[in-house]
Chains A and B, each alone.
Chain A
Amino acid sequence: MTCDEAEILLHALIDGELDAGHVREVENHIATCPHCAAQLGAYRDMQAEIAAADLRFTAPPQLRRRIEAALPQPRIASRRSVLRGFAMGSVVSAMAATGIVAIVLRSDDEQRIESEVVSAHLRSLQAGHLTDVISTDQHTVKPWCNGRLDVAPPVIDLTALGFTLIGGRLDYIDGRAIGAVVYKRRAHIINLFVAQTPNASRSPARTDDVQGFNIRRWRDHGLSFWAVSDISADELTEFSDKFESAMRTNGNS
Chain B
Amino acid sequence: MSGLRTQAARTSPIADETMQFGSSSDDQVRAQRFRDAALPYLDDVYTLARYLLRDASDAEDAVQECYLRALKHFDSYRGPAMKPWLFAILRNVCRAEFARRTHSSITPADELPETAEQTTPLWSEAQETPETEVLRHRDASAIQRMIAALAEPFKETFVLREIQNLSYREIAEAVGAPVGTVMSRLARARAMLRTAWLAEEEQPK
Contact = CB atoms under 8 A, between A and B. Distances in A.
Given A67-B67, A112-B81, A78 B29 contact: yes
A91 B78 CA distance: 6
Interface of B: 21, 23, 25, 27-37, 39-40, 42-47, 50, 59-60, 63-64, 67-68, 71, 78-81, 121-123, 126, 129, 131-135, 137-140, 143-144, 147, 161-163, 167-170, 172-173, 178-180, 183-184, 186-187, 190, 193-194, 197
B167 to A, nearest CB: 5
Given A72-B23, A101-B180, A49 B71 contact: no
A99 interface: yes
Contacts of B45: 59
Contacts, number: 182
A7 B64 CA distance: 39
Contacts of A93: 79-80, 173
Contacts of A38: 131-132
Interface stretch (A80-88, A230-238, A241-249): A80-88
Given A42-B131, A67-B67, A112-B81, A55 B27 contact: no
B64 A56 contact: no
Interface residues on A, range: 35 or more
B32 A105 contact: no
Interface string A19-59: 00000000000000001001101110111011101111111
Closest 4 A/B residue pairs (Cβ)? A38-B131, A59-B46, A97-B179, A53-B140
A51 B161 CA distance: 11
B31 A74 contact: yes
B47 A57 contact: yes
B64 A42 contact: no
A7 B187 contact: yes
Interface stretch (A8-16, A147-155, A184-192, A197-205): A8-16
Contact of B180 (A57, A60, A97, A174): A97
Nearest to B50: A57
A209 interface: no
B32 to A, nearest CB: 4
- Majority SS at the chain B contact face: helix
Contacts of B179: 95, 97-98, 101-102, 105
Chain B CB within 10 Å, residue with most, of A67, A95, A105: A67
B111 to A, nearest CB: 21
A132 interface: no
B137 A123 contact: no
Given A11-B183, A105-B168, A174-B79, A72 B27 contact: yes
A175 to B, nearest CB: 5
Nearest to B63: A63
A7 B124 CA distance: 11
Nearest to B75: A87
Nearest to A76: B32
Nearest to A51: B162
A208 interface: no
Given A8-B183, A8-B184, A78-B28, A17 B167 contact: yes
A82 B183 contact: no
A172 B37 CA distance: 9
